[in-house]
Structure formats: structure tokens, C-alpha cells
Amino acid sequence: MNPSESVLRWVVAAAAGLVLVGLVEGVVRSHRRPPGRATAGAERVLRPGVEAAIGVGFFSVCIVLWRPLPLEPRDAIRIGLDVAGAVLAATGLGLVLWGRLTLGRLYGVSSTLGARLHADHRLITHGPFAHVRHPMYLGIETASFGGLLLYRTWTLVFLTVAFLGLMMRARREDELLRLEFGARWEAYRQQIPGWLPRRRRTKRRHPRD
């Protein structure tokens, strides 16, 4: 590994660590606020002790899997992978942070087994949520894939594949928001895609006769 590659990896790792701290801080704060509507089973999994145990187990798996993939690309290819990976990772982390800051005090945690809103929850449709309904999950997947190109370890393979779990979690959140906000949510869902932004059409101005 050359010095520039090492620096790039450390910079991306530091950025990921800062974003992770912001997410954990938001989860801790969310438990201090009155809970609102929740899916069945949410009360069993969305508790501080259970969440902490799941988090420890998840990161333990990441540590165990932090082994290099059985491939060693040539210098030119490796440089391309490093640059592309760093760009994707930075973009994904930026999207996660943007979503976190946009949600503010409404940010909370959910899982594939349950989701919960706050008692005074509002439907957020600005910021990154004006482009996709699940910008933070999209950012996590983008950052994971970028990390896979940059670090090339089994941990990033695991995180990239874990996107399937995020898709299941997103479905639960969509259903919960539909129950909470009804027609407003349906109108938002029909206008804003879940994962990939749509190209917005601009109305053509017709010249006056």
C-alpha cells in the first residue's frame, strides 16, 4: 500500500466515524422523547439494551470479517478503484449526514423487526427527502459499495449485501408512515421514489402568438 492510498483510507474512515457518532447520538436522544405509533413487535426490539446488544454483535462481525479479499489489482486498476471508492464513500456519507441533519430531533432508530415514530412526528419532505424517500439508507449502501472498492475487505462485502435488510426496514417504515399520515403520505409516495431520484421534467414555455 502506497502512502497516498493509506491517507485516503484513513480520511474516509475518519469521516465514517464522525457520521457514526452523529447517528448514535441521535439514537440516544430519541429514547428520551415520548414514543408514538409503532409496528407490532417494536417494543421488544427498540429498547436501549437490545439495540446495544445488536450493535455490539454487528460490529463484532465487521471486525471478524476485516480480512482482505483474495485479489490484488494492478497499480493502474488499484488507483482507479481507490479514487472511485473514495468518491462514492464520501458521497454516501454526505447523504447520510444530510438526512440526519434534516430529520433533526425526529431522527430515531428502527429495525427489520419493528419501527416506531415519535409522539409529535412530522412528515419530512424537504432536504434529501425531496428527492428520495430513504436517502440515509441509499447513502449507507453507496458508502458501503465505495468502501468495498477502496478497502477491498470481506467486511465491506457484508455491509453491501446487508442492503437487503435495509430494504425490509424501509418497507416497515413506509407502512408506518402510511398509517400515521394517510393521504399526505400517499401523495408524497406517488411523487417521490423510494431509492433512485427521478429526473424532473421541466415545463416548456410556449412562445406567445
pLDDT for 59 beyond 50: yes
Q: Write down the mean pLDDT value for the chain.
A: 89
Domains of the chain in sequence order: 19-31+38-112+123-191 (1.20.120.1630)
pTM: 0.90
pLDDT for res 208? 45
pLDDT for res 100? 96
Residue 176's pLDDT band, with cuts at 50, 70 and 90, is very high
pLDDT for 190 beyond 70: yes
Are 189 and 197 in contact by the 8 Å Cβ rule? The answer is: no
Are 88 and 146 in contact by the 8 Å Cβ rule? The answer is: yes
pLDDT for 206 beyond 50: no
pLDDT for res 209? 33
pLDDT for 204 beyond 80: no
Which of the two residues, 112 and 192, has the higher pLDDT score?
192
Residue 62's pLDDT band, with cuts at 50, 70 and 90, is very high
pLDDT for 1 beyond 80: no
**Residue 174 to residue 181: CA distance in whole angstroms:** 10
pLDDT for res 39? 85
**Residue 146 to residue 149: CA distance in whole angstroms:** 5
Share of residues in the chain with pLDDT > 70 (%) = 95
